[in-house]
A and B are shown apart, each in its own frame.
Chain A
Amino acid sequence: MHPKKHFKCYAVVGNPNSGKTTLFNALTGLRQKVGNYPGVTVEKKSGQFIGQHGEKIELLDLPGSYSLNSHAPDECVTRDVLLGLRSDTPRPDRILCVMDASHLERNLYFITQVLELGLPTIIALNMIDLAQSQGIVIDVQKLSQELDVPVIACQANHQETVLPLKLALSRAEINRSSWAQKLPSPWMRAIDGVAAVWAHAEEKTSQRDPLLRMKSLLLLASPDAEIESLSKEMRAGSALGIALAQRSMLDRELPLWREVLVSARYDRITELCQAAQGRSSVASDAMTHHLDEVLTHPLWGWFGFLGIMGLMFLSIFVIAAYPMSWIEATFGFLGNLVREMIPQGDLRNLISDGIIAGIGGVVTFLPQILVLFFFIGLLEDTGYMARAAFLMDRVMSKVGLHGKSFIPLLSSYACAIPGIMATRTIENAKDRLVTILVAPLMSCSARLPVYALMIAALFPKGTASIWIQGAIMMGLYLFGTFTALGFAWLFKKTILQGETPVFLMELPPYRCPAFKHVFLQMIQRAEMFLKRAGTVILGISVLLWFLASFPKKPSSDARNGNTPSQNTIASATSDKAAQLEYSYAGHFGHFIEPVIAPLGFDWKIGIGLVAAQAAREVFISTLAIIYHVENDEEHPDSLSTTLIQEKRPNGTLVYTPLTCLSILVFFVLSMQCISTLAVVRRETNSLRWPLFQFCYMTGAAYLASLLIYQGGRLLGLM
């Protein structure tokens, strides 16, 4: 089906923190594609570069891995691609191993496993400069000789050192390593036994085929609890039965067989390191040691943490606000330009109020996304991210999450969209999903204007001090946060339960960030957001515009008295209000009134809620239209004053303190952001999770508001 490809494809593999992605970026530059592996929330990155002879060379950046026998979802993807067991990704022809020269011993564990797969392999010995500065001297030639593959020293952050690697990758022929791990004879017999089953099934393959032997080894070594994480093909047929029989044989003949498997490899690696690596007596990473003395100190550590988090959070809030207002102004200007240039009509409104406003709505998220990913890139590149997780893990583990969930949740106070995109730093798939599901409960900046308006309506001028208003605001933020943590705990206990993954996290040495890499990542995130979520958001904005503009209200001379609005003053605002009421959105507001009446909401609030699906702050501009208030910035109080006087048909006030409270609680909990749902759809690669998220959040909001309003009435409150 696929045309025969003429270029070589390398899988890029290595330990996490080995500088693998930096090297990948250095090799491919901007010629990258970022996607997802179907069915899992693991990122798929591929890129190309032009080889020495002008031929295209493709690189596939596989998730960082510590071992082929690990069972975290990301590592499973790496393992399955290397074994050729993923139907969506063809088995690569060759492998580029990235090895951190300053952590040779642990890196070699995974790399020697990869060598045994029998594919042509090149090793990039990365961060050679760092190793040297720590007094580690590596005999590259000796290493290459022992491993039986080319080893090329480089520094991923220095373009010129990458050139020899590019040349090596362009070679027409690369040999397969003869490295094979020797194991005690019972182990060898067990592998023979399983490999024979597959060799028999596939006929043309020999039992000595390195790929079959590695598959057999992994089937034998997988812990029972995690055997499910192996690809179905590996567990199919009689191989699994044979493997279990071989295991009982091993239990009898070599009781420590599981330990021997790992220790044999480490023993050989230790020997190899002694031969190829010289260490001066003072070899150590003094900078990391000193920095950690401060940054993970019981007292100073918190100062550092609060400082860094505060700076990040304020930057998202404050710095991003400037470009956001420029973007808003630009799109406002464009909208006006269209209004002047195109004659009045539906086309003009579609372009100015539908499309331009929609695109503007998408683009306004960009500054926050860029600022957050600049910080995340810095934190990851410098190694502080792991320290932040180290500090916060105790707190997050109380609700069953990982320390790494902290930053995405914190970022969600600004906006859930970058927050959800930031969950990609969480390796564990279930933790990532739970974090995505609860992130929108953190009160984002779009809720702030709604909170402010409702608090103003709650306390007409002078009836409450600024402190009480502040306390209520604070209470809303805390309410959202605790609800998020509570739901996280609930989800970990129920729908996403399962064995708590073993929490093991490397604390990588502190390093100078590669700004090129940081910026590249920022651009990639922005591009991904615009391409994947942006289109959906734009589409839905136009749809919502349509619902609020059609059907058209007959013009005033043709009016035949079926309009329910009371006193129609011939002004632009009242026309707008009448139109909104007449539209599908208006009908929908009436339609849902029976459902929302128990919460204390009337149909006008209903229209506001429908419109707020585009973005929460739209609630305010919609109310302003409905209540004929010119929503200008010089009189921010005018809307709240109008609200306070608004009466129901029976003469009672609409915005009683109880209704205001009910609205507030509804906004804290409910999922009213199509843009977030579009991003969740992309990040989880499914429709099921955003739907579930919408239902549980809106359901919780409904119940909580119902409880407050009806409970309050029972208690005789207004």
Chain B
Amino acid sequence: MNLSLCALQPNEEAVVLELPKEERIANRLREMGLLPGTTIVFVRRAPLGDPLEIRLRGYSLSLRQNEAASILVKKREA
């Protein structure tokens, strides 16, 4: 099932399928290790709902909903 990264629930694992179209954003995400094929875990939302925290490659990254909305992922069944 393909969905936006924002739609994940805490502790759900997913594989990245597509990065945002805007090259500037996609470049920054790739450089931080977020690539198509990378496995991520959705950790939590900030108390006010934005930004989000995800785990990838052994570290925690926070990103805003704005950017996360156009990252397409595929949920991994537990």
Chain A residues proximal to chain B, CB less than 8 Å: 66-67, 69-70, 102-106, 109, 221, 223-226, 258-259, 262-263, 266, 288, 292, 296-299, 301-302, 386, 390-391, 393-395, 397, 499, 502-509
Contacts and interface: CB of A to CB of B under 8 A. Distances in A.
Interface string B52-78: 010001111111101100000000000
B19 to A, nearest CB: 8
B57 A106 contact: yes
Which of A66, A262, A288 has the most C-beta atoms of chain B within 10 angstroms of its own C-beta? Answer: A262
A66 B32 contact: yes
B35 interface: yes
B36 A503 contact: no
B7 interface: no
A296 B47 contact: yes
Contacts of B35: 259, 262-263, 266
B46 A223 contact: no
B1 to A, nearest CB: 23
B73 to A, nearest CB: 16
B25 to A, nearest CB: 5
- Summarize B's interface: helix, strand, loop or mixed: mixed
A393 B64 contact: yes
A105 B47 contact: no
Contacts of B57: 105-106
A226 B60 contact: no
B31 to A, nearest CB: 4
Given A103-B58, A106-B59, A504-B62, A262 B46 contact: no
A262 B62 CA distance: 20
B31 A67 contact: yes
Q: Indicate the size class of the contact surface on chain B.
A: 20 to 34
Nearest to A134: B58
30 contacts: A66-B31, A69-B27, A105-B33, A109-B31, A221-B27, A224-B23, A225-B23, A226-B24, A258-B23, A258-B30, A263-B36, A288-B60, A296-B46, A390-B46, A390-B53, A390-B62, A391-B46, A393-B51, A394-B48, A502-B28, A502-B67, A503-B63, A503-B64, A504-B29, A504-B32, A504-B62, A505-B51, A505-B63, A506-B60, A507-B62
Contacts of B37: 263
Contacts of B64: 393, 397, 503
Given A394-B49, A503-B67, A506-B61, A259 B24 contact: no
A509 B63 CA distance: 17
Given A502-B24, A505-B61, A297 B47 contact: yes
Given A67-B31, A507-B53, A507-B61, 10 more contacts: A69-B27, A69-B31, A103-B59, A104-B58, A223-B24, A226-B24, A259-B30, A301-B47, A394-B49, A507-B60
A299 B53 CA distance: 17
Q: When A and B form their complex, which 6 residue pairs have the shortest distance between CB atoms, in order from nearest? A: A394-B48, A507-B60, A67-B31, A223-B23, A262-B30, A298-B47
A414 B56 CA distance: 39
Contacts of B36: 259, 263
B24 A504 contact: no
Given A69-B27, A106-B57, A395 B62 contact: no
A508 B53 CA distance: 12
Contacts of B32: 66-67, 106, 504
A221 to B, nearest CB: 8
B43 to A, nearest CB: 8
B27 A393 contact: no
A263 B63 CA distance: 21
B48 A391 contact: yes
- Summarize A's interface: helix, strand, loop or mixed: helix
A108 to B, nearest CB: 10
B38 to A, nearest CB: 8
Contacts of B26: 223, 258
B27 A223 contact: yes
Contact of B46 (A288, A394, A508): A394
Nearest to A386: B62
Contacts of A394: 46, 48-51
Nearest to B35: A263
A185 B1 CA distance: 35
Contacts of A506: 59-62
A386 B51 CA distance: 12
A395 B61 CA distance: 19
Given A105-B33, A391-B47, A504-B63, A258 B27 contact: yes
Contacts of A499: 24
Contact of A390 (B24, B28, B51, B58): B51
A251 to B, nearest CB: 12
A288 B44 CA distance: 14
Contacts of A301: 47
A288 B28 CA distance: 25
B51 A262 contact: no
A296 B60 contact: no
Contacts of A508: 59-60
Contacts of A395: 48
B53 A296 contact: yes
B28 to A, nearest CB: 4
A69 B67 CA distance: 19
Contacts of A258: 23, 26-27, 30
A105 B44 CA distance: 23
A505 B27 contact: no
B58 A105 contact: yes
A573 B47 CA distance: 58
A259 B23 CA distance: 11
Which of B30, B47, B63, B66 has the most C-beta atoms of chain A within 10 angstroms of its own C-beta? Answer: B47
Contacts of B43: 292
Nearest to B63: A504
Contacts of B25: 502
Contacts of A224: 23
A505 B33 contact: no
A70 B59 contact: no
A296 B44 contact: yes
A503 B62 CA distance: 8
Given A298-B47, A394-B46, A70 B53 contact: no
Contacts of B61: 504-507
A296 B62 CA distance: 12
Contacts of A226: 24, 27
B6 to A, nearest CB: 14
A109 B31 CA distance: 8
A70 B28 contact: yes
Nearest to B53: A507
